[in-house]
Amino acid sequence: MISFFHKIRQKLLHQNRVTRYLAYAVGEILLVVIGILIALQVNNWNENRKAQNQIKELLIALRSDLINDTLMIHAYYPEIVHQYEINESFRSRVAHENASIDTLLQIARFEYNPNWTEALTYNINAYNSLSEFGLLVYLPDSLNNKIRDFYNQKDFQKTQINRTTEDYRTKVSDYVDRYTFGSTENHDQGWLIDSLVWEKVDYSHLAASFQGLSNFKRFLFSQIKDEMDYSLIEARSLIEQIDQELLKR
């Protein structure tokens, strides 16, 4: 078509018919512009279709991540609760009105285990892809905000847990440099070392160290438990919203 207009323009130019020449020149320009606009529209449509297909795939992957994380939490949850309850039982025994130095020594020397359980590592690959590729903006505002709020809150909780864990790790390091503990087979130091360590104990220091550790352990497990509770409740709600969105696609 453009070649056809070009031949006509050349003919008109030779015939000195300038007005018609300009009209055909404008027509040729308009055809080029229209062709470019159509090509851009087709390209935009193709890109949008690719983005929508990618979003659907990532929503399915995100849903799978949330389900797997939920199953992992359910498997992990009882141990966290168990460790929390053990720590609380030690605190209750020491705080009891009939507690004595022997109560503290019995717990610290033979029962207490200052080790802790690390927080879970969640699956965030699908969310990272949605975020990094800028695909969240294609989702309805309610779902977009729900996803962002969910993972922002989890990231905040993770930061808090990591900070508490580092503080607790420092306290444990100080504690084990001074005292032994025999509640696990991995820390069976034998009678000689155990007796030498506990032969002359500074009870005030032991009490303060034990109290500090048990306080941090309580706080740490509370943070982990709160994070898991949040994940279980909000993940269920988020999965429902994702399912509703997938039904539309």
Residue ranges per structural domain of the chain: 54-247
Quick one: pLDDT at residue 241?
A: 97
d(CA 84, CA 76): 13
Phi-psi region of 134 (alpha: psi -120 to 50; beta: other; left: phi over 0): left
pTM: 0.77
Residues whose CB is less than 8 angstroms from the CB of residue 70 and which lie 6 or more positions away in sequence, other chains included: 231, 232, 235, 236
Q: Out of 10-24, 123-137, 138-152, which region has the weakest mean confidence (pLDDT)? A: 10-24
Mean pLDDT of the chain: 86
Give the model confidence (pLDDT) of 15-54 as tens digits.
555 566 556 566 667 777 777 777 677 767 767 788 889 9
The pLDDT, as a whole number, for residue 182 is 65
- Counting residues of the chain whose pLDDT is more than 90, the rounded percentage is 63
Asked whether 116 and 170 are in contact (CB, 8 A), the reply is no
205-244 confidence digits (pLDDT tens): 999 999 999 999 999 999 999 999 999 999 999 999 999 9
Share in percent of the chain as helix, strand, coil (round to 5)? 85, 0, 15
